[in-house]
Structure 1
Amino acid sequence: MDLFEKTRTFTRAKEAIEMGVYPYFQPLSDSEGTMAIFKGHEVVMIGSNNYLGLTTHPKVRQAAIDAIEKFGTSCTGSRFLNGTLEFHLELDRRLAKFVGKEAALVFSTGYQTNVGTISALVQKGDFVIIDKDDHASIVDGCMLSRGEMRRFNHNDPDSLDKALSRIPEDAGKLVVVDGVYSMGGDIAPLPTLVEICKRYGARIMVDDAHSLGVLADGRGTAAHFGLTDEVDLIMGTFSKSFASIGGFIAGSEQAIHYIQHNARSLLFSASLPAPQAAAVLAALDVIESEPEHVQRLWDNAEYMRAGLHRLGYDTGPSQTPVIPLMIRDEYRTVLAWHALVEEGVYTNPVVPPGVPANSSLLRTSYMATHTKDQLDIALRGLEVVGHNLDLIPQTTSLETA
C-alpha cells in the first residue's frame, strides 16, 4: 500500500470546511487577551489559557522588549552547548524556589518537558503509570521511554492501587498525573494518590500546567494540598499563567541533574529565547508581588460558574477556572461554537479523540483581566445559543433563574 493512501482518504476535516463549520486552525487577526477579532467579529475570549492575563501586563511586555534589544530573538543553540544564558539559570533558581523544590530545569516547551523527563527516567524494566485523562505529552513521553506504560481510571485512587499491585515490587515505578485537568477542570486527589504511591514505593510526578498561577496563590497542586515535600517532581508550563512559551521540571537536585544530562528533548533542541525567558521572570515577579491577580481570576471563575449553573449548563467535574460545557454530541458542539462566535463569544470545541466518545464539550476558561461587562456578554451569548440549540432548559434565563 502507498504510504500516502491515508492522506487521500482523510476527508473529515475537508467536509467540515465545505459546510462552513470547521473550528480548528482558525486565525485571530487581533487579540489583547480578553477580547479578540475573529473573521471581522469582535469576540469575548473565553477559550484562552492566559489565566492571569499577564500577556498584556506592562512589566511583562517591557521585560521581553528589553531582552530582545540586549540578546536578539534567538539563542541558536541547545542548553547543552552554547544556548544557556544567565536568564535560564536565574529562571531555574527562581522556579525551584517558587514551587518549593531543590532544583528546576527550563525546557523550550511544556511538551518537550514531559517527553524529555519521562523518557529520561523510565528505562527498560521500569513502569510508568498514568491517569487516562493525562495530557498527550505525558502519553508521548511514555511511548518514547523504554519502559512499560499502564493506565488507571481518571481520578480513581482504587484503580491506581490495583494497577500498582500488578507491577513487580522491585521494579522502578513513576506515577504521572495532571494537577488540574485541562478539559474537565477538576483537581487530582493528590493526598490519596501520594499515600498509595508511598505504599508501593512509586515516585509521583504532577503536571501543573493548568495549576500554576491558579491554585495556592499560584504555586500549584502540591502546595494546594500541603504536599510539596511529598511530590517527587513538579512540571509546569509558561504558555498559561506565565505569559510566554516553554516549560520546566522541578525536584531534587540529584533528579534534575540526571534529567539535565539525559533528556533528549532538552539536549537536542534550541534553548528558550531570551525574550521568552525574561517574560517568565517578569510574570513570576508579578505573581509573587501582586496576589490580587489570582484572587480576581477566582472571582471571575465563580461568577461565571454561578451564571452557567443558573442557565442550566452541565459544567462537568470542574472545580477551577477551566469550566467545560458538556454537550456530548460532536455535531452540536461544533454548531454551538459557530453560533457563539456569531454572538460575540469565542470558546474551544473539543470532540473525540481530544475527549472520550460521547464526551464532546465546549471548553471555557477565564482570566483575571476579564471585566464583569465582558463576562455578562459571554453569559448572554451562551443563553441565546443554549436556548436556540436546546443545550439548556427553555425555561431558564439569567433574569429569572
Structure 2
Amino acid sequence: MNSDINQSNKLEFIKKELQERKTNNNLRQLNAIYPKDAVTVIKNGKRLINFSSNDYLGLSKHPQMITASQDYLNRYGTGSTASRLVSGTYDIHEKLEEKIAKLCGKEAALLFNTGFQANTTIIPTLVNQKSLVLCDRLVHNSILQGIFLSQAQWKRYKHNDLSHLETLLKKAILQGYNRILIVTETVFSMEGDRSDVDRLIQLSQQYNTLLYLDDAHALGIMGNKGMGLTAYQSGIDISLGTFGKAMGSFGAFITTSKGMRDYLINCCPGFIYTTALPPAVIGSIDAAFDMIPNLDKERDYLLQQVSYLQNNLINLGYQVLNSSSPIIPVIIGNEEKTLKLSNFLENNGILATAIRPPTVPKNTARIRLVLSSQHQPEHIDYLINLLKQYHEF
C-alpha cells in the first residue's frame, strides 16, 4: 500500500520550519533566568539589569504580595481543584470579582486564567460566521486567534486610524451582518502607543456595534488610580485586564455588564471548561488591588523616566516609536542587526530582548525596552551610555 505518510518523512515539516526560521534569524529558544529583584536577574551566572519585563511597578517581588499569597495558600490550599461551575468557585474568587468591578466602576467582573485564553475564547462566544469583526492592524496575536476561531468575517483598519475604521463601519452597516464587533488594545504591546478610547466608544455607539478593549498594558499605570484607560467608561461591552504585568501576578479578568457576565458563564468554553485560578494567585491579586490605587508617585516617576529615555534615544539617532507608555520600541529593522544589539547589551549587563517577525511586521525587528518604577536613574543612564557606544561603532 503506497502512502505519502511514512516514518521517515512525517516530521519533515518540523525540520523545514525550524531551518527556515534559523536562516532568517527568527529562531526562538528558551533562556532561563533567576529574578533577584524587580529589575535584576541572573542569566548564565551573570547579573543583568532587566529592561524586558512587564513588571511596570515591581510588584512581583513586593512583600505585601508575597505575604498575601502565602496567607491564601495556607488557608485554602494549593489548588482550586475544579472549574468554576463545578466546585472551583471559592468565596475568594467572588470577593475578588466584586472588588475589581467596584474599583473599575463597572457592574461586574469575571476572572480568566490568562489574557490569551480570554481573548481566544471570548471573541468566538460573541460573534459567528454571520458577524463582522473590525480590529486594529497591530492587535495582539491572541485577538487574531480569537477572530480566526470565531469564523467571523474580519477586516483590519490602519493602525490607530479611526477615520479608516469609520469608513469600514459605514460600509458594514449596509451588508446585513447579525452583529459587528470592534476589538483593539488600549496600549499596544509592541508599539507602546495608545488608542483613542473616547472616539472608539463614540463610534461603537453611533454604529451600534459591540466594543471589546484589551486594557492589559494600561492597567496599573494609567487611568484614575491606575485602574486602566477603560475604568469608569460607559459604552464598552467588555474590557480585558491582566494580572501578569503591572499587577505583578498571573491571570486575567474582564469588566462588563451583569448580563454579559451571565452569558459568558453559560456560553464561553474557556471559562466553563478550565480549572479556576489557585488560591495563592488570588491572594497576590487581591493585595495588588489594595496597593495599585495608592501608587500615583510611582506612576509619575515611571512616566518621567520614559520621557527621559525616549528623548535621549532620539538624540542619539535611534528610531524610536511614538510611545506613551513604559514600552519603548527601538526599531532596528534587520533581524540579524537586532540580535547583535541585544547580544551587545547582554554582554554588558543589560537584558533587552530582540523582538522579531512574526511577532512584529517584517522589517521592523526591534529592541523592546520596558521601564519599571523600580529602575533607578543610574540604571537608565547606564543603558543610554551603552546604546551611545554601540551607535558610534
Q: Distance in 1 between matches of 2:19 and 2:338?
A: 16
Q: Distance in 2 between matches of 1:201 and 1:30?
A: 47
Of 185, 192, 198 in structure 1, the residue corresponding to residue 205 of structure 2 is 198
Counterpart of 2:101 in 1: which secondary structure? helix
Identity %: 29
Could you tell me whether the CA contact under 8 Å between 1:133 and 1:154 is conserved in 2?
yes
Amino acid at match of 1:87: I
Of 3, 9, 14 in structure 2, the residue corresponding to residue 7 of structure 1 is 14
Deviation at 1:230, TM superposition (A): 2.6
Counterpart of 1:44 in 2: which secondary structure? strand
Could you tell me whether the CA contact under 8 Å between 1:212 and 1:218 is conserved in 2?
yes
Q: 1:324 to 1:14 in 2, by over 3 A?
A: closer
Of 132, 136, 140 in structure 2, the residue corresponding to residue 131 of structure 1 is 136
How do residues 348-363 of structure 1 correspond to structure 2 at under 5 angstroms?
348-363=353-368
Could you tell me whether the CA contact under 8 Å between 1:55 and 1:243 is conserved in 2?
yes
Could you tell me whether the CA contact under 8 Å between 2:68 and 2:287 is conserved in 1?
yes
Aligned length: 383
The yes-or-no answer on 1:222 pairing with 2:227 is no
Q: 1:385 to 1:24 in 2, by over 3 A?
A: farther
Q: Distance in 1 between matches of 2:190 and 2:391?
A: 20
Q: Distance in 2 between matches of 1:322 and 1:183?
A: 7
Please name the residue that 1:74 is paired with: 79
Q: Distance in 2 between matches of 1:121 and 1:14?
A: 35
Amino acid at match of 1:202: T
Deviation at 1:15, TM superposition (A): 4.2
Of 110, 117, 128 in structure 2, the residue corresponding to residue 112 of structure 1 is 117
Amino acid at match of 1:308: L
The yes-or-no answer on 1:172 pairing with 2:179 is yes
Q: Distance in 1 between matches of 2:97 and 2:311?
A: 39
Deviation at 1:259, TM superposition (A): 1.1
Could you tell me whether the CA contact under 8 Å between 1:44 and 1:377 is conserved in 2?
no
Deviation at 1:364, TM superposition (A): 0.7
Please name the residue that 2:193 is paired with: 186
Please name the residue that 2:375 is paired with: 370
Counterpart of 2:264 in 1: which secondary structure? helix
Counterpart of 1:171 in 2: which secondary structure? coil
Deviation at 1:271, TM superposition (A): 0.8
Deviation at 1:66, TM superposition (A): 1.2
Deviation at 1:190, TM superposition (A): 2.1
Q: Distance in 1 between matches of 2:153 and 2:90?
A: 36
Q: Distance in 1 between matches of 2:82 and 2:151?
A: 27
Note the aligned Cα RMSD (angstroms): 2.0
The yes-or-no answer on 1:309 pairing with 2:314 is yes
Could you tell me whether the CA contact under 8 Å between 2:334 and 2:363 is conserved in 1?
yes
Deviation at 1:194, TM superposition (A): 2.4
Q: 1:14 to 1:39 in 2, by over 3 A?
A: farther
Q: Distance in 2 between matches of 1:249 and 1:316?
A: 29
Q: 1:15 to 1:125 in 2, by over 3 A?
A: closer
Q: Distance in 2 between matches of 1:251 and 1:157?
A: 23
The yes-or-no answer on 1:41 pairing with 2:49 is no
Cα displacement string for residues 192-215 of structure 1 (whole angstroms, at most 9, x for unaligned residues): 222222222112111011010121
How do residues 2-401 of structure 1 correspond to structure 2 at under 5 angstroms?
2=5, 3-12=10-19, 15=22, 24-167=29-172, 168=175, 171-216=178-223, 217-223=225-231, 228-388=233-393
Stretches of structure 1 that go unaligned for 5 or more consecutive residues are 389-401
Counterpart of 1:221 in 2: which secondary structure? coil
Q: Distance in 2 between matches of 1:27 and 1:170?
A: 47
Deviation at 1:158, TM superposition (A): 2.0
Q: Distance in 1 between matches of 2:265 and 2:392?
A: 53
Amino acid at match of 1:330: E
After TM superposition, the score normalised by the length of structure 2 is 0.92
Could you tell me whether the CA contact under 8 Å between 1:151 and 1:163 is conserved in 2?
no
Deviation at 1:307, TM superposition (A): 2.4
**Greater Cα offset, 29-38 or 128-137:** 29-38
Cα displacement string for residues 12-41 of structure 1 (whole angstroms, at most 9, x for unaligned residues): 488479x9x966411113432211111222
Q: 1:330 to 1:292 in 2, by over 3 A?
A: same
Q: Distance in 2 between matches of 1:154 and 1:274?
A: 39
After TM superposition, the score normalised by the length of structure 1 is 0.90
**Greater Cα offset, 290-299 or 329-338:** 290-299
**Greater Cα offset, 33-42 or 236-245:** 33-42
Cα displacement string for residues 136-191 of structure 1 (whole angstroms, at most 9, x for unaligned residues): 11111111124322221111112212222232256311100100000110001223
Please name the residue that 1:396 is paired with: none
Q: Distance in 2 between matches of 1:194 and 1:90?
A: 29
Amino acid at match of 2:310: R
**Greater Cα offset, 378-387 or 354-363:** 378-387
Counterpart of 2:201 in 1: which secondary structure? helix
